[in-house]
């Protein structure tokens, strides 16, 4: 079963359970998937759906920070609930040590040396670690590997 099919099944389950908060978040995700498919005239595979979920999670995290800074805990809580539902659709994340090991292997494979090669390394890293690790942590690991 593809990830998109799983999300659709989860929507049906949430409808039957009358779980309106979860249902709203899943519908939002399905709408984002459908929008991307229509805009680009493609059918999204699991990797593309994971990338989209990752993007939505980043938006939620940014919103939570903004709402907490504006002292709007009610809205921050709503975003946090959506964040929790969305995170269920991501594959298991890599630990910091695993990310660092993968980055070092890619740096050696690409033959990068120094901060000037960061773009070359990030291009390869993004394709291999997309959805498996948070990109901000990956970027920090690449900087550390190239500096050291």
Report all structural domains of the chain as residue ranges with CATH numbers, in order of start: 3-87 (1.10.1510.10), 96-147 (1.10.10.410)
pLDDT confidence of residue 118: 75
pTM of the model: 0.73
Kind and range of the H or E element at 27?
Answer: helix 20-40
DSSP state of 117: G
- Please tell me the number of Cα atoms within 13 Å of 8 on its side-chain side: 7
The token duo for 39 is 């805009």
44-63 tens-digit pLDDT = 888 888 889 989 999 999 99
Q: How confident is the model at residue 148 (pLDDT cuts 50, 70, 90)?
A: low
> Residue 79 in contact with residue 39, Cβ under 8 Å?
no
């Amino acid at each position: 079963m593809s990830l998109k099919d799983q999300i659709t099944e989860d929507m049906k389950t949430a409808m039957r359970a009358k779980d309106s908060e979860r249902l709203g978040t899943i519908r939002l995700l399905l709408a984002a998937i459908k929008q991307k498919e229509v805009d680009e005239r493609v059918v999204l595979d699991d990797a593309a759906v994971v990338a989209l979920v990752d993007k939505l999670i980043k938006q939620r995290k940014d919103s939570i920070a903004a709402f907490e800074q504006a002292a709007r805990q009610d809205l921050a809580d709503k975003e946090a609930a959506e964040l929790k539902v969305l995170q269920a659709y991501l594959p298991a994340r890599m630990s910091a040590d695993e990310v660092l090991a993968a980055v070092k292997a890619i740096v050696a494979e690409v033959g990068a040396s120094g901060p000037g090669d960061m773009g070359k390394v990030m291009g390869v890293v993004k394709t291999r670690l997309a959805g498996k690790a948070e990109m901000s942590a990956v970027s920090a690991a690449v900087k550390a590997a190239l500096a050291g």
